[in-house]
Structure 1
Amino acid sequence: MALAIDASSPAMVAATSGTSLASNSFTPPAGSLVAVVGTWSWAGNNAGSPALSTAGVTWTKTVEVSGGTGGWGAVTIWEAYFPTSPGSIVANMTWTGTSSQRIGLDVIVITGADPDQSTAASASIHVSSGTTHTRSVTTTRANSMIIGGLGAYGSGTPTVVSGWNDLHNVDNGSNRDRTGQRSCTTATAYTVGWTLASSNGGANAHVEILELAAVTKNATGETVTVTDGTATKSAIISKPATGDTVAVSDGTATASKIQTIPATGDTVAVADGTATKSGIFDTPVTGETVTVTDDPASATKIKLPPQPFKDDLPIPAEVLGIGRAGGDYRIQLHDVHGTTVADLDTQDTTDVKWSRALSNVSSCQLDGNTSGAEDIIKRVRPWVHWATVYRGDDYVWTGQVTQVSVRPRAWTIVVKDLATLMWRTRVPITQIWRDTDPCEIATELWDAMIRFHELSVPDARRLSSTVAYTFSVDRDRRMLHQAMDDVVKLGVEWTVIGGMALFQPALRTPGLDLAHVELSDRDFEEELEVLHDGTRFFNDTRFQGKNYGATAVKEVAGLHMQNLVSMDNLQGEDNITRAAQQSVAKTGKPRSAIIVPPGATLTPGAPVQMAELVPGVVIPVWTEVSGGVRDLLRLESVEVTISAGLEKVAVTLGEVPDVQDVAGVEVIQ
């Protein structure tokens, strides 16, 4: 990420006498490095050792130079990194030298800087008398930046040396307080500083600012080496193709480990040159290689779930209609490595319930009688074991066991999908997204969680949104579900299908329209109704972000139905204004719609496939109520119950949050 001087940098301040000075207020953005340069430009007194303070901020001194007693000039540079914006702050510098001196203070806000500046170069010099006040600085990293300051006495305006640029300056009589900068494309020696118009004394100090190294994704088949300071370790972060060999080097030998799953039906073999070992999730010994083959004669066959999506739409592949698969269910209890603990069918259980949910954790509950209860309580452990549900030949649900209970004549296992890990994972990364699709932000947060827990699950999918926001998170500061909730407020919905997360815009997305399906009164066991609803009507909303607030109002019959929305992770005037407009555009009119009772049961033979029942899809619904009304409804949840050999499919359908027209929405600052 390229280094840049941010526009939030305030003007330089100076005083003709005194030992303390406060900067102008400034608001550094998230992910910025702030350098504070203090200058002392007078003779006859010792500048002493300055101190810098700001409430709630820890400053680090990087370089300092002084002429001492009777010397001309002194310069000190301090730094602090802000992973999140602290809001409006002030830097206060106090010198310990004699009073009545001329001093300056400049704040330089830099974006794109590495949080760790411990290896950056620095240099300083004090000149008792002369016109050349320059210094050579040898940078340590390409694409870095050098900043510096000058505190000197002398008539005439100082001039910069070639390649050095003035940032800010204040001249008080014959006193010269200045800061400067230059960009450095390569790591080499650079001459920086000023030339005085007349021979006089002064001090200048300079420090290198290191650029934040870019993070790039490795191509399939590349070897990734990770160094921990004493040795090298490795991990494959992309999925190899069938037949590829994955080799990982630790400096003296090779070892292998696949962290992603091969394609459905692929055979995975671990070869050491003399025999073949099995188990995709086992870590081979040093020197072994992992290959992915389609050889049917190989000893190990891994059955993996099919990808439930093709392009944007679910695959309507199964032949078992809704309500017709009661006796065709199988449940596999296994560990994270795929080792089976128990295989159950509908004869081993009294009831099976599994669900799909929109922006919520889905669950599966298995109930059984005394048969197998002893093995269940001995062998199945919460979080250690998983349950995977098969409907016929189709893989429909998977998750981690959270509860196991055994009673005298029955047992119950409760399972949650992978989203439940967001409540057991602190935010695993520190990152800033600038003008980014919120669906992309949510996907990257999910992927970071999966990497942290080292899970082999299908890659998350996302549909693109038409909006962009600036958003930031800090590692370990919050739980992941709290950060994800904030992303949801930006217009994102999520669901988990068979262990694969799908992130989608909250507003209607053409890629999830089931235009070829229409449900009507005869497809539900419950009666439909038509409703005119004003319970969620707000036409005057105050939207408060991290550093700005905006109120959006829409004229509706002279009403002022007010609401307040707070989002600490959203910043920037444009972002917050747009969010306020979208909020009122969505809620600023009463709703008229077909109401399908929550948890309505689909009748057997309803014209929709199980693979199409993905939360977030938009389904046309027709009712004969009120003379015939047609509406578009969004699928919010699915709950499937298998009992006594019968399958019952219940759905909850809700309002479609369509693209909002902000015309007529007035924004009040």
Structure 2
Amino acid sequence: MKLEPAAFGVHTFDGVQLGAIETPKTFTWSRERNEVSRLQLTAPMQDLGAEITPWLHWVSCWHGQSLQWIGPVQETTRDRTGMSVDCRDVSTFMWRTRTQTTRRWSGMDVAPIAADLWAEMLTLHSVRADPIVLPARTDSRYDFEVKSDLKMLHQDMDALSKMGLRWTVAKGRPVLGEQPVAPVAELSEHDLSGGAMIRRSGAKTSNDVRVQGKNSAVTGRTPLVGLHLQSIMSLDDLGGATNIETAAAQYVNRRSAIRDELVIPTSATLSPDAPIELNQLIPGVHLVVSALGLRTVLRLDQVTVTGGAEGTSVAVRLATPDVLTDLEKAGAQVQT
């Protein structure tokens, strides 16, 4: 993976330019799965440093001609010689927005529900970034209800996340739902720094899961070589018998398998020759990775781009997908 040089522009939310941050000394920006992402940079002191105002001004990060990150400034510091800027992506507005509507959804995938709530939040803050809703990958459907001004929006998103909502922000746009199962690229251990490991763990395994919701509880069970490993999952915000039954089926499916997992160090960086582009590194996508005689699929949970005097690096955090069998059907075969 070869990156074009980074450039940083400062502007208002509606695009009025303040200027460019010249000759940054260091910078870091990320994309996260179900988390607010961040951009931080330091630079020599320059005229616009005294003008940058949190929330009013945004920073855009470009690599070559491609926008890669954008979000509102949260904090700046400066002295006679230098300045620093700390930003978050648009999901940070969930902590500055009360739920804007009173509404009930029935029998729906969680991603379109989240998109409706996000759209109202972005309209309130005059942010032009229509949510991207990915096609549902399962038949799981839920009933969900919100009331205007009763909660902050991040609390409603937390409740939807417990029902399976996955989201990220890429290039300023929210992406809601599970990414397709088809891997976007194939990597070998030579494409990643650090040493891979194979782990076979039963620390979180249970095949008899009781899900306790708001008004009732359901137990989901699946056979596992004669074992009866029990657990309880509390979902206090989840109501409705159908919702709880669906959640129980999902949890027991995720927790009942014991498998070999390929573990890549959290500090792993991509080599300059890795066969993948920065635009493909969206949290939630899947990658085929081969190492230690195991060829399997991993999910991208985080990408972090860091630049400084020694150059630019791209770090990735990879994890085993929740339901590996679906991914194996997409073409990834486990080999020894």
**What's the C-alpha RMSD, in Å, of the aligned pairs?**
1.8
Distance 1:660 1:550 in 2: 24
Higher relative contact order (CA 8 A, sep 6+): 2
Tell me, which stretches of 5 or more residues in structure 2 are unaligned?
A: 327-336
The aligned amino acid for 2:133 is R
Letter in 2 for 1:484: M
Identity of aligned residues (%): 31
Equivalent in the alignment of 1:150: none
Residue in structure 2 matching 1:561, options 216, 225, 230: 230
Matched, 1:598 2:266: yes
User: What is the aligned partner in structure 2 of residue 422 from structure 1?
Assistant: 94
User: What is the letter of the counterpart of residue 355 of structure 1?
Assistant: S
Is the alpha carbon distance of 1:409 and 1:559 closer, same or farther for their aligned partners in structure 2, counting shifts above 3 Å? farther
Q: Structure 1 regions of 5+ residues with no counterpart?
A: 1-321, 662-669
SS at match of 1:622: strand
Instruction: Letter of the 1:421 partner, please give it.
Output: F
> Is the 1:536–1:590 contact (alpha carbons within 8 Å) kept by the matching residues of 2?
no
Of 271, 274, 279, 1:611 maps to 279
Secondary structure (helix, strand or coil) at the match of 2:177 reads strand
Q: Which residue matches 2:249? A: 581
Which residue number corresponds to residue 360 of structure 1? Answer: 35
> 1:331 corresponds to which residue?
8
The yes-or-no answer on 1:402 pairing with 2:74 is: yes
Does structure 1 conserve the Cα–Cα contact (< 8 Å) formed by 2:74 and 2:88? yes
Instruction: Using the TM superposition, give the Cα deviation of residue 468 of structure 1 relative to its aligned residue in structure 2, in angstroms.
Output: 1.1
Aligned ranges for residues 248-259 of structure 1 at < 5 Å? none
Give 2:166's aligned residue.
493
Deviation digits for residues 303-324 of structure 1 (CA, Å, limit 9, x no counterpart) = xxxxxxxxxxxxxxxxxxx244
What is the DSSP-based 3-state SS (H/G/I as helix, E as strand, rest coil) of the residue aligned with 1:464?
Answer: coil
> Equivalents in 2 of 1:358, 1:548: separation in Å?
30
The alpha-carbon deviation at position 477 of structure 1 amounts to 1.0
Distance 1:540 1:494 in 2: 28
Residue 20 (structure 2) pairs with residue 349 (structure 1): no
Corresponding position of 1:461: 132
- Cα gap change, 1:408/1:534 in structure 2, threshold over 3 Å: closer, same or farther? farther
Match of 1:615, SS state, is: coil
Which whole-Å CA distance do the structure 1 matches of 2:158 and 2:12 have between them? 30
Find 1:631's aligned residue among 296, 320, 323: 296
Q: Which moved more, 1:331-340 or 1:628-637?
A: 331-340
Letter in 2 for 1:490: M
Letter in 1 for 2:19: A
Based on CA coordinates, which of the two structures has the bigger radius of gyration? 1
- Kept in 2: contact 1:323–1:648 (CA 8 A): no
- Is the contact between residue 212 and residue 232 of structure 2 (CA under 8 Å) also seen in structure 1? no
* Counterpart position of 1:502: 175
> 1:408, CA displacement in angstroms?
4.8
- SS in structure 2 opposite 1:387? strand
TM-score (norm. length: structure 1): 0.47
User: TM-score, normalising length from structure 2?
Assistant: 0.91
- Following TM superposition, by how much is the alpha carbon of 1:339 offset from its aligned partner in structure 2, in angstroms? 1.6
Aligned to 1:318: none
Give the secondary-structure state (helix, strand or coil) at the position aligned to 2:119: helix
Cα 1:660–1:519, aligned 2, differ >3 Å: closer, same or farther? closer
Aligned residue runs from structure 1 range 128-277, under 5 A:
none
- Select between 632-641 and 579-588 the one with higher mean Cα deviation: 579-588
Separation of aligned partners in 2, 1:475 and 1:652: 37
Does residue 436 of structure 1 match 2:126? Answer: no
Give the C-alpha shift of residue 504 in structure 1.
1.4
- Equivalent residues in 2 for 1:632-647, closer than 5 Å: 632-644=297-309, 646-647=311-312
Distance in 1 between residues matched to 2:193 and 2:324, nearest whole Å? 32
Check the 8 A contact 1:437/1:464 in 2, yes or no: no
Distance in 2, matches of 1:552 and 1:514, equals: 30
Query: Structure 1 CA distance, aligned partners of 2:109 and 2:51?
Result: 44
Structure with greater strand percent: 1
Give the CA deviation at 1:449.
Answer: 0.6
The answer to whether 1:531 aligns with 2:199 is yes
Alignment partner of 1:581: what SS?
A: helix
